[in-house]
Amino acid sequence: MLLGLVLVAAGLVTTAGSATAEPTGPGMNIRPPGHGDVWLGALAPPPGSGTGELLWCIQGRMMPPNASSVVVASSAVDDPVLAAAVAAHQHVETVEMRAALSYLVHTRHQIPGTMVGGDAAEAARLISQGTPDAIKDLAASVISGAAANAGPYAGASPVVQTGDSRTGRVDGVALLSAAGTPQAGKPFTLTLEGPAVWDETGTNELRGTTGAQALSFGWTATGNGLVTYRASFGDLGRVTLTRMVFSGAVQEVLTYGNRAAIDPREVTSPPAEFEVVRDFQPEITTRVASTFVAKGDPMVDIVTAAAAAGDQWATVGGAPVALVARGTLYGPYASQPAESATVPDGAPVVGSETLTFAGPSTQHSPGTLSATGSGYYTWVWEFDKEAQAPDVRPYVRASFAHPFGQVVETSIVPFAFQVRTEVADTVVEKGDRFVDRVTAEPVAGDLWLHHADGSPVELSATGTLYGPFVAQPAESAVAPADAPVVTTETLVFSGPGTLDSPGETVATSSGYYTWVWEIRSAEQPVRSQPYITGDFVDTFGLVAETHVVPFQPEAVTERADRVVDDGTPLVDHVTASVVEGDLWLEARGAGPVEVMFEGTAYGPFLRPSEEGGQIPAGAPVAGTERLTFSAPGTQTTAGEVLATGPGFYTWVWRVVVDDQPVDLQDYVADDWSDDFMIPIETSTVLHQVEHLSVAREYNVVPGGRAFDTIRITGMAPDHGEFEGLAEWVPDVRTATVRAYGPVVEVPSGAEVPEGTPVLWEGTVEARNGVFHVGYDDDHPVSPTEPGHYVFVYSVEGDDRVEAYTSRFDDVLERFYVPGLPEVELPLQVVTQATPTAVVGEPFGDTALVTGTVPDGAYLVFEAFGPQDPDEVPVCEAAFFTSERVEVPGPGYYASGDTTVDRPGAVYWVESLYSSGDELLHRGECGIPSETTLVTEAPDEPVVEEAADVLVDLPGPVPSEEVPTPDPAPAGVLAATGAGVAALILGAALLLIGVLAALAARRRGGPTS
């Protein structure tokens, strides 16, 4: 009312009264900027429009249709919201509402006209600009309100409530706007196609009018089958406006009339289908309460009874009918039984139980059945129609039993297992594999199970090999924490049986090795764990589960002495051990294994040979010794093997398995032997030089020549040919002969005094033989100075011959160059007894008397013994006294021969008396040169014939050997050729030489 007053006051309100297509009813003129009046209101339809509905201008400032205007074209304009607004408000005859509707038409559907050069958008903007705000606000409210009820329209999707499939409802009967607003007052028709009727009509058709809310209608089944619900709705509001084009230069218009064919008048809801029943099919779905059940525990099934899908449990007198279900438990099976519609013939039966269902529900079976052994146990439940109460049977369509062997209906009782183990071989040689033999099987009454897919349950057994140990380890429930682990191996059992371990580890060192096997349920493959129960762990240290790898003894040996005296023990040091990585084992039930090492001393050999593993055929054996070791260590032989002559002796030690005690042989891996002729296992007994030399004459005039004959025996027959080997040095090739002198005193003592002058030096071959010295004219032994001289033979030692130097006081090797006759030389007596003799063989003593001998002097020789050579010499009771031996002057004198009947040392003592029996000289008891060593005669005496050899002394060789003095009969020896006369002559010549030298010195001339 207030808005109307405002508009009237503004002069905008008018009322059209023309009956032609001119403004009709209330409305107003507005003046867009820059333009004349534009009518905001409805137009009356001209007679030729074919509609009785109002027209709405869409071209401002153009002439409206008139009575003569004819519709020449029409089309549908899709604007459901504007159509709903026009339908709801076009008959509201107020200026404001008519102006608001006209404003909405112009601004939403303005087309080019005369305004602004035909720019429709600009024209609409100018019309909006010229429209009062109150009209525009009303238009906005109208269009907003129309949106909730605008099309397109649709029947709501029904919701069919089937209930028990015998009765139900269809909810959601409604005609909805595009915004989902129910449209009230619209006619509908509902149809049920199938065995059901509407509760309101008792037929399959129901008519009515929609309401402001969705409607709901009940239905009842008349049989069993499929029912289709259908719904249709009529008298729909328009979703378009009709655009009309007239003849003549008049504007185009929109109208709610003249509905286009594309604008629907009726719609249907989506159809809905549902099943209905009168009787029902009971069914059972089941599952075991526990898939895995311990042996002896109740076997419980969870049983759910219900009507089949689409059915409803029948009720009688308002209460559900009661049905009895029977369940039978079949088993045991080793694997999941195959599913089948019926129970196989002969299926083992554990027992059966019953449950009563008064309507759909879930129950647990009573649990009166249990399993005594492992396996698969499967339930089969059934509703047997004929077993039901007679008054219930008509409501049961048919009997029902679920299939046999369903996985969900099967319980599994895990199996317990037992294991036996033993080593494949008690004794394992190095390089062989450790193999254990393991047997796994179910306990009595159990089955080895399979998975549901049919594959066998796998048991993984883990074996740990411990070792090495010195002795059989003690049994214990668990392995000691510090037990060394050699390896771990795995066996996978797919059923009962015996498997050998893979043998992935090779024995490399001796010792006891023991297996411990275990099967722990918690460590099995995840899919296997539920199928087994219990654990198995082997006892540590079982004898049956223990290998023995024998140890290999060996030894490092070394002779006690490199050089051994003949007849003395050949002693060896033996250090026993085991090869690297091995242990010295203890025998089962006993102490350490005792190993016997046998050593054989071979020899004597003339020379050493190359070290090697082969012992020469026919090698001489000096003896054997045995040593027993119970642990690594060093022992020394007892010295029972003696050297039996000069040469080389070598030890060879060995361990022979078959020579060990029978009960210990398995602990020793193999025979062992060291090499033959190992240098540190070889000793030498040196050959002893035997030297017998005689100077050809005792007295030699100054400027004359001395000669010596040397006889050497006792060396190796091939001495001089050995070139050396390993630590053994080559043979020395030469011996040295020296003539020492002159010395004033008669040479005494074995050793050459330091500083003694050397007259002459030469060499001879270092071998057995006879050598003549002094016969080389280019290198003569020619003394010029008066005094005593002696030949000394010397050979350096090597590894086959002992070093030897003849005695400095060897009486047979002396010669003398006298001085002037007036010179009185001191009286001296030097003796040389036969060095060695054999029992029963003659021997004697020889004395060399030098110096001034008184007239009438004589010698007496005495022999004492035989005595033990190791005891202190005793010269008290002579067993031999020589005849009186006259000594007319210097020279050699022999005692005469004697013999003895037993071995021992014979000591000679010489006595020199004057003619008046005054003792001028007496020898010393026990000196070496006066000792004869008497030995037992050998079984087969060996005679060495030494050849006359001249070495390094070129010159003429005497036509015959210089004879040695004949020791018998007692008396004067040949006094070096010229006798006493020569001695006097020599003394005179010496005196003349001395005087001449003194005279030359006085004159200052040379002395030599």
Residue pLDDT, tens place only, 559-596: 999 999 999 999 999 999 999 999 999 999 889 999 99
pLDDT reading at 993 higher than 70: no
Rounded Cα distance, 891 and 740, in Å: 20
pLDDT reading at 998 higher than 70: no
Whether 780 and 793 share a structural domain? yes
Whether 436 and 380 share a structural domain? no
Residue pLDDT, tens place only, 459-491: 999 999 999 999 999 999 999 999 999 999 999
Structure tokens of 361? 């529900």
pLDDT band at 162 (very low <50, low <70, confident <90, very high): confident
Q: Taking residues 953-962, what's their average pLDDT?
A: 34
pLDDT band at 108 (very low <50, low <70, confident <90, very high): very high
Domain end position, chosen among 97, 115, 148:
148
Spatial neighbors of 535 by CB under 8 A, at least 6 apart, are 518, 519, 520, 521
Number of H helices, E strands in the chain: 6, 65
Strands (E), 501-552: 511-519, 532-533, 536-537, 546-549
pLDDT of residue 913: 96
pLDDT reading at 123 higher than 70: yes
Mean of per-residue pLDDT scores for the chain: 88
Rounded Cα distance, 519 and 417, in Å: 9
pLDDT reading at 147 higher than 60: yes
* CATH assignment at residue 661: 2.60.40
User: Ranked by mean pLDDT, which of 305-314, 397-406, 817-826 comes out on top?
Assistant: 397-406
In a domain, 514, yes or no: yes
pLDDT band at 514 (very low <50, low <70, confident <90, very high): very high
In a domain, 953, yes or no: no
In a domain, 504, yes or no: yes
Domain end position, chosen among 775, 791, 817:
817
Residue pLDDT, tens place only, 737-775: 999 999 999 999 999 999 999 999 999 999 999 999 999
Whether 419 and 409 share a structural domain? no
Q: Taking residues 16-36, what's their average pLDDT?
A: 74
Reference 267, options 155, 149, 148; nearest CA is 155
pLDDT of residue 820: 66
Whether 291 and 270 share a structural domain? no
Sign of CA dihedral 140, 141, 144, 145: negative
Spatial neighbors of 442 by CB under 8 A, at least 6 apart, are 374, 415, 416, 417, 418, 448, 496
Helix axis angle, 95-109 to 80-89, nearest 10°: 160
pLDDT of residue 118: 87
pLDDT reading at 543 higher than 90: yes
pLDDT band at 710 (very low <50, low <70, confident <90, very high): very high
Q: Taking residues 634-644, what's their average pLDDT?
A: 96
Rounded Cα distance, 146 and 901, in Å: 168
Residue pLDDT, tens place only, 215-225: 999 987 777 78
Strands (E), 483-582: 485-493, 497-500, 511-519, 532-533, 536-537, 546-549, 553-559, 572-578
- Compare 348 and 310 and report the one with higher pLDDT: 348
Using left for φ > 0, alpha for ψ between -120 and 50, and beta otherwise, residue 583 falls in: beta
75 phi, psi to nearest 5 deg: -155, 160
Q: What letter represents residue 824's amino acid?
A: E
CB–CB of 610/675 below 8 Å?
no
- Ranges 306-310, 495-499, 644-648: which has the least confidence: 306-310
Q: Taking residues 403-408, what's their average pLDDT?
A: 94
Whether 857 and 912 share a structural domain? yes
In a domain, 776, yes or no: yes
Residue pLDDT, tens place only, 226-270: 999 999 999 999 999 999 999 888 999 999 999 999 999 999 999
In a domain, 989, yes or no: no
DSSP for 878-905, please give it: EEEEPPPEE--SSEEEE---B--SS-EE
pLDDT band at 939 (very low <50, low <70, confident <90, very high): low
pLDDT reading at 58 higher than 80: yes
Spatial neighbors of 67 by CB under 8 A, at least 6 apart, are 20, 21, 46, 47
Whether the upstream peptide bond of residue 332 has omega within 30° of 0, thus cis, is yes
Spatial neighbors of 42 by CB under 8 A, at least 6 apart, are 23, 24, 25, 27, 54, 55, 56, 90, 98, 101, 102
Using a 10 angstrom Cβ sphere, with 0-12 exposed, 13-18 middle and 19 or more buried, the burial of residue 19 is exposed
pTM of the model: 0.52
In a domain, 979, yes or no: no
Residue in the structure block whose two tokens are 């035997």: 690
pLDDT reading at 14 higher than 80: no
Structure tokens of 22? 């001119």
Q: Taking residues 933-957, what's their average pLDDT?
A: 49
Q: Taking residues 959-971, what's their average pLDDT?
A: 35
Q: What domain range is 431 assigned to?
A: 415-549
CB–CB of 767/712 below 8 Å?
yes
CB–CB of 181/212 below 8 Å?
no
| Local structure of 373: helix, strand or coil | coil
pLDDT band at 884 (very low <50, low <70, confident <90, very high): very high
Whether 292 and 172 share a structural domain? no
- Compare 861 and 16 and report the one with higher pLDDT: 861
Whether 323 and 308 share a structural domain? yes
Helix residue spans in 25-132 (DSSP H): 80-89, 95-109, 120-130
Whether 654 and 730 share a structural domain? no
pLDDT reading at 976 higher than 80: no
Whether 813 and 905 share a structural domain? no
pLDDT reading at 19 higher than 50: no
* CATH assignment at residue 901: 2.60.40.3930
In a domain, 987, yes or no: no
Q: Taking residues 658-674, what's their average pLDDT?
A: 96
In a domain, 983, yes or no: no
Rounded Cα distance, 138 and 94, in Å: 12
Rounded Cα distance, 26 and 8, in Å: 12
* CATH assignment at residue 541: 2.60.40.1930
Rounded Cα distance, 940 and 962, in Å: 30
Number of domains in the chain: 7
Find how far residue 860's CA is from the centre of its chain: 95
pLDDT reading at 832 higher than 50: yes
Reference 60, options 46, 41, 44, 45; nearest CA is 41
Q: Taking residues 376-405, what's their average pLDDT?
A: 91
- Give Cα separations from 176 to 142, 153, 210, 235 (angstroms): 20, 6, 10, 13
Q: What helix, strand, coil percent values describe the chain, rounded to 5?
A: 15, 40, 45
CB–CB of 410/337 below 8 Å?
yes
pLDDT of residue 978: 32
Domain end position, chosen among 888, 918, 935:
935
Residue in the structure block whose two tokens are 């008066």: 786
Share of the chain above pLDDT 70, in %: 90
Reference 664, options 589, 599, 580, 574; nearest CA is 589
pLDDT of residue 396: 87
pLDDT of residue 984: 35
pLDDT band at 13 (very low <50, low <70, confident <90, very high): very low
Residue pLDDT, tens place only, 898-915: 999 999 999 999 999 999
pLDDT reading at 21 higher than 80: no
Which DSSP category does 431 fall into? T
Whether 704 and 803 share a structural domain? yes
pLDDT of residue 167: 76
Whether 120 and 47 share a structural domain? yes
Whether 60 and 159 share a structural domain? no
pLDDT reading at 803 higher than 50: yes
pLDDT of residue 765: 96
Reference 626, options 614, 635, 616; nearest CA is 635
